[in-house]
Structures are given as C-alpha cells and as structure tokens.
Structure 1
Amino acid sequence: MEKKKVLVTGASRGIGRAIAFALSGQYSLILHASKPESLESLLKELDGEHEVLCADFSEINAVKEFCSALKKMAGKSFYGVVNNAGVALDKPLMYQSLNDIDKMLNINVKAPLLISKTALKLFIGNKEGVIINMGSCVGETGNAFQVVYSMTKASMVTMTKSIAKEVSLIDKSLNIRAVTVSP
C-alpha cells in the first residue's frame, strides 16, 4: 500500500527539519526549501524515499508555480500539509521597509493561504486531509520589534479556524482537519 504524502514547508532547518524527521517513517514527504541544496543532507538522513519541491516564497509568482507543481506531484495519496516556512525580520515598525513587510506577508501569510487552497481542492477529492499551520506565541501576545511577524502569525490562527469552519459547512462527512500549532 502506498504511503500517504505530506508536504512540509521550510523543511531544511529548525522546526521544519524536526517535523520531517518525525514524519519520515510514517509518510512519504514532499519537502520544501528555497533551494534544493538546502535539503541534501536531510534527504540522506531520513527514512524512506521523499520528494523535493523548492520555491522562494518571498516571490508570489514562485508560490503560484509551487502550487501548480504540488497539484501534479500530490496524487491520490496526498494527505497533509505542514505550513511551517516562515521568516521574522525584527526591527521597529517605523523602520520596516515595504520590501521586508512584503517578504514577511508573502512567506508567512500568502504562501500558506495559497498552499492551503490548493490542498483543500485535493483533500476534497480524497475525502480526507489535514492542514497544520505553524503559528507562534507572539501571534497571541505581540512582541516589540516584531509587529509584522506577530501580525502574520496571528493571521495563521484565524485562517486555520476559518478553514475548519468552512470545510464543516461544505460537507460534514469529509475527514478534513485544520489546526494551528503555536510554539
């Protein structure tokens, strides 16, 4: 029997890398990083065979291309998404450049939103799936010098709750879940 597939974004380091290790024996993974060379050592260390799908999420067109490629790669066994990729560019709000703000919005909000949209279409066809969105405790408490980052992480919580409510209204028989984890 074919293993279920799970996408892990931001898999090259930190929490994403740890998630990849935790899931690698049970699932076939689609690992994301900005650059494929970032995943080389991880692929050698993981159990099983896994796929790589890279994109620079700071560029919205790259996110759109990523989602198109994900549709082709996912197949009938596509089961889960861990929206983990994120960036924090810490500095006082009054000194945040528009480029830095756009980068955080694209990586932390728009990419997970578009990936979730793509995944939901696939999950509905499969009648099951799970979206795990990585939030942050600062999304609930706020933090000095992290106004934009805190805002993006707070949006993950409300996006997740809205997805869960929406799916239950579309079809109560679907086994599709959406959760946020806020380390």
Structure 2
Amino acid sequence: MNQPNEDMNDKICVVTGAARGLGRAISEALARAGATRVYACDINMAPAQSWIGDYPNVTAATLDVCDPQALSELSGRILAEHGRVDVVVNNAGITRDALLDKMTESDWDLVMNVNLKGVFMMTQAMLPLMKLHNKGSIVSISSIVGTDGNIGQSNYAASKGGIISMTRGWAKEFARGGARIRANCIAPGFINTEMTQAVPEKVLDKMRARIPLGELGEPRDIAEGVLFLASERSRYITGQVLKIDGGLVL
C-alpha cells in the first residue's frame, strides 16, 4: 500500500459499485489519499475480499442502490459513525446491450433503474448528510456513450446522458443559499476492466485504432479524475463533465 497523501484528509467518502473494476480503483485511490473513512458499497461485496483488507480506512457495505430501505440504513449508519458525508461517488452501473429492435422492455428497465434511478436514490439519501455542514462533492460516473451515443446501447446511452442532465441541475440546486456542495460527472472512454478483457483481441485492436493516445485507459485513470473532482483542488468546479477517453471524442 502506498504512503497516503492529504488530498482526502478528514473526508468521509461513499463509493457505489466498489467491489471491483472502476469502483475498486476509486475506493483505493480515496483511501490512499488519506480519507478518514471510505464506505465501499456494492450489491455483491465478495470480490472485494481480495483487496479491502489492505486498507484499514475502508469499510465494506453490501448495498442495492435501488433499495430505499438499504439506503436509509446506510445513511443512518454513517450519521451515527461520522455525523456527515463529504464525498459521494456514484459508480454502480450495468449494461444490457442490444439493437433497438431486439432490446426488451426488461433490458431497458433494468439499466435505467440501476444506472439512473440508482444515482438519483443514492444522491437523495446522502445529500442530507452533506447539508449538515453545507459542503461536499458528488461525482457520478457517466460515459462517452452518454454524450455521443453508441450503436446497440439505447438504454445505456439514455441512462448515462440522464446522469449528466441530473448533475447539471444538481450543481445549481445544491449551491443555493451559499452551500458548497458540488456535483460533477466523469465520462470514461474505453477502459481496461473485466468487461473489456472479455472482448476479442481483434475488436480491441479496432478500439485502440480509434483512440488518439493509442491505448485503452486504466481504472486508475478514472480514479485520479474522481480524486481531483472530490478534493479541494477542484473547489471552483461544478456542473461539469470530465471526459477521460484518450482523446476518443473530440
């Protein structure tokens, strides 16, 4: 484990979809940056057993972001243990890809519920804990598919575009009355996760050929972007979308 710095000093952080992939990288980055506590949340925390023990400031929390009772229990727990939340990272998301004439209503509903409604419900549950001290940072993981679309991803594009629209509204809403509660998005491009590792190499080669920097991004690239938007280094940034895609969308 690397020596922590002070970017997240005294911060209480919550990350969804945290057991593996981007969520793991984000949780580890916040922990290394000195967060007092990182609540790493996922509907299945089993994959986190391989890494979470390396970070005494990370707490595993099993959570369905679409379950209001579970969200209420998590909010109550954090309030009792720390009295506030400083950083919320909405990372949980799924895909159910299909061309429009093949996409089922259940595919649409499931993706919209997890990717969009889940972000709404998680933020709604954590916002009162930020309002207790009128300060905080909400970082939601969107996608370049949410800004530019993609074939066979009508549901995913709609959900990720919806996150951007909600975030822009939240940036205005949450700053009323002098509050310093910021809301921003990150839009990743092609990132080297378990999902992309399952893609045939010839398809990955085509992906790389489209990226000006010539390679897939790594989870740490997204984690560093989250760390910036979560910290005081971005204190004057809100309502923005940070694309981390190697120049894929220009």
Identity %: 29
Contact between 2:94 and 2:111, CA under 8 Å: does it hold in 1?
A: yes
Q: 1:33 is matched with which residue: 9, 26, 42?
A: 42
Query: Mind listing any 5+ residue stretches in structure 2 that lack a counterpart?
Result: 1-8, 189-250
Which of 14, 35, 44 is the equivalent residue of 2:53? 44
Question: 1: CA distance between counterparts of 2:133 and 2:163?
Answer: 24
User: What's the offset of the Cα at 1:105?
Assistant: 0.9
SS at match of 2:150: coil
Does the 8 Å contact 1:130/1:176 carry over to 2? yes
Match for residue 91 of structure 2 among 84, 95, 109: 84
| Alignment counterpart, residue 180 of structure 1, candidates 185, 188, 199 | 185
Partner residue of 2:4?
A: none
Normalization by structure 1: what TM-score? 0.89
1:64 pairs with one of 53, 59, 68: 68
RMSD of aligned C-alpha atoms?
A: 1.5
Contact 2:146 2:161 in 1 (8 A): yes
Structure 1 residue 126: deviation in Å? Answer: 2.0
Contact 1:12 1:42 in 2 (8 A): no
Q: Distance in 2 between matches of 1:33 and 1:114?
A: 15
What is the aligned length?
Answer: 175
Higher Rg: 2
Partner of 2:229: none
Which segments of 5 or more consecutive residues in structure 1 lack a partner in the other structure?
none
1:19 to 11, 14, 26: 26
Q: Scaled by the length of structure 2, what TM-score is found?
A: 0.66
Q: Matched residues in 2 for 1:113 and 1:144: separation?
A: 26
